[in-house]
Structure 1
Amino acid sequence: MTLTIDKTVFAPLDAEGRLTHAIIKEEISPGRFGFRGELALKFQQTMADEKRPPELSAWQVFVTAREGEPAFELFMCYMLSFEYLSIMLDVVGHLFKPGGKYFIYSNNQDLLQKYRITINGVLFYCLPIGEATAYNEFLELLFIDKNDIKKLNTAGKMEYIVNEAMKFDADWEEISYEEGIKRMGPVRNPNENRPV
């Protein structure tokens, strides 16, 4: 039987309209549900029945959870500013657990620095983003060659990446969230230097 979203921790997020721009939102292997898309963190006020885009979202989200489990198994996203991590934790902090694999790419983290931050017993790998997408940077981090996965379908690619990510470990500098805020630079315009 196919695993449906209502049997996963994604169900309330879906009901609240937080899972947007889905590339994939389905069971990717028996008992494992995957979502790729955007996660709405803050909604704009809506007038009457008009639908407005979220005020703030985590982008390029790549996340999985197992059936019946109370937390995300793996989570990766891109945020414009490192400080949005606290907003994200206000919204979905209960869905992160010690032992999960969580990766946060942010636009204003020093390009030469990678660090680990533990919040409420949960470890986050915090990375800067260069010119590539978070997805491509993630593949690079995990030493996955695109040729290894190009013949797989979207669910198969996701499954392959998750299995590699679950083995990931790094002894990067461990700092506090507050220290991360001190170290972050200004938000760079993600569209500068791009051809029109």
Structure 2
Amino acid sequence: MSLLETLKAEKLLWQMSFSGAVSVGEGYRGELILVPGKINASGNQNPPEKLAAQTLLIAKEGKIDFLAGYVRHLDYLNHFAEKFVPYCKAGIPFYFFVEDIGKTMSFELADHRFYVFPLDEGTVWNEFCDMLGLEKGDFKGLDAGEKIVKVAEEGANFKPKAEEVTFEVALTRTIAIHKEARGPV
């Protein structure tokens, strides 16, 4: 069974926009379930309570080799480490955009380096491609899966400038999330 089939069987994938074979192994673009929804009174499962959204993932030889994504709250990364690190190649870095932080930081968690970036608007795809210096033309002629491969290849050795802290210190630096109301007045 492939890694993506395993994650699907474990009910850890949600709302995927791409999942399948790519030139280097497997690629995935979608959401990862960190905390599943509760079973409601009618016996159906509610939507997930916590997600790693907008995830870009490449797996090689049955292990996650590259992963970038978005979480609403920094403490969600505890759930990520618990659920997904066992499926990862040892020591790979993770890149997460986080809504409730105000500045870029990096820390060790579960024997992996996490780079976290503030994000209140925008998408992981656009922001990460900008950080890597990738432009629209760099993806010309590539299908959906190979676009993820391109980002992963460019991001493989990406070491952004970030203040190194412990995860515990990073948790003390979260900020309140403020969303502006939009729409007709």
So what's the TM-score if we normalise by structure 1?
Answer: 0.84
Asked if 2 retains the 8 angstrom alpha-carbon contact of 1:78 and 1:104, the reply is: yes
1:187 aligned onto 2:180: no
Instruction: Provide closer, same or farther for how the CA distance between residues 54 and 172 of structure 1 changes in structure 2, counting only shifts above 3 A.
Output: same
Q: How does 1:1-196 map to 2 (within 5 A)?
A: 6-8=1-3, 10-30=4-24, 32-47=25-40, 48-68=42-62, 71-110=63-102, 113-189=103-179, 192=180, 194-195=182-183
Instruction: Provide closer, same or farther for how the CA distance between residues 133 and 194 of structure 1 changes in structure 2, counting only shifts above 3 A.
Output: farther
Asked if 2 retains the 8 angstrom alpha-carbon contact of 1:97 and 1:122, the reply is: no
Secondary structure of 2:154 counterpart: helix
Instruction: Provide closer, same or farther for how the CA distance between residues 172 and 91 of structure 1 changes in structure 2, counting only shifts above 3 A.
Output: same
Q: How far apart are 1:38 and its partner, in Å? A: 0.6
In structure 1, what is the Cα distance between the partners aligned to 2:52 and 2:142? 26
In structure 2, what is the Cα distance between the partners aligned to 1:64 and 1:119? 20
Secondary structure of 1:151 counterpart: coil
In structure 2, what is the Cα distance between the partners aligned to 1:194 and 1:65? 38
Q: How far apart are 1:89 and its partner, in Å? A: 1.4
CA RMSD of aligned residues (A): 1.9
Asked if 1 retains the 8 angstrom alpha-carbon contact of 2:34 and 2:76, the reply is: no
Map Cα deviations across residues 78-124 of structure 1 (whole Å, 9 max, x no partner): 011111111221222323444413101100110xx212111232111
Task: Indicate the residue corresponding to 1:3 in structure 2.
Answer: none
Q: How far apart are 1:140 and its partner, in Å? A: 0.8
Instruction: Provide closer, same or farther for how the CA distance between residues 97 and 122 of structure 1 changes in structure 2, counting only shifts above 3 A.
Output: farther
Secondary structure of 2:55 counterpart: strand
Secondary structure of 1:118 counterpart: strand
In structure 1, what is the Cα distance between the partners aligned to 2:134 and 2:145? 16
Following TM superposition, the consecutive aligned residue runs of length 4 or more in structure 1 with deviations greater than 4 angstroms are 193-196
Give unmatched runs, 5+ long, in structure 2. none
Give unmatched runs, 5+ long, in structure 1. 1-5
In structure 1, what is the Cα distance between the partners aligned to 2:137 and 2:181? 28
Q: How far apart are 1:126 and its partner, in Å? A: 0.9
So what's the TM-score if we normalise by structure 2?
Answer: 0.89
Map Cα deviations across residues 150-189 of structure 1 (whole Å, 9 max, x no partner): 4321012111111101131234221011111111101333
Instruction: Provide closer, same or farther for how the CA distance between residues 29 and 49 of structure 1 changes in structure 2, counting only shifts above 3 A.
Output: farther
In structure 1, what is the Cα distance between the partners aligned to 2:86 and 2:177? 27
In structure 1, what is the Cα distance between the partners aligned to 2:110 and 2:49? 26
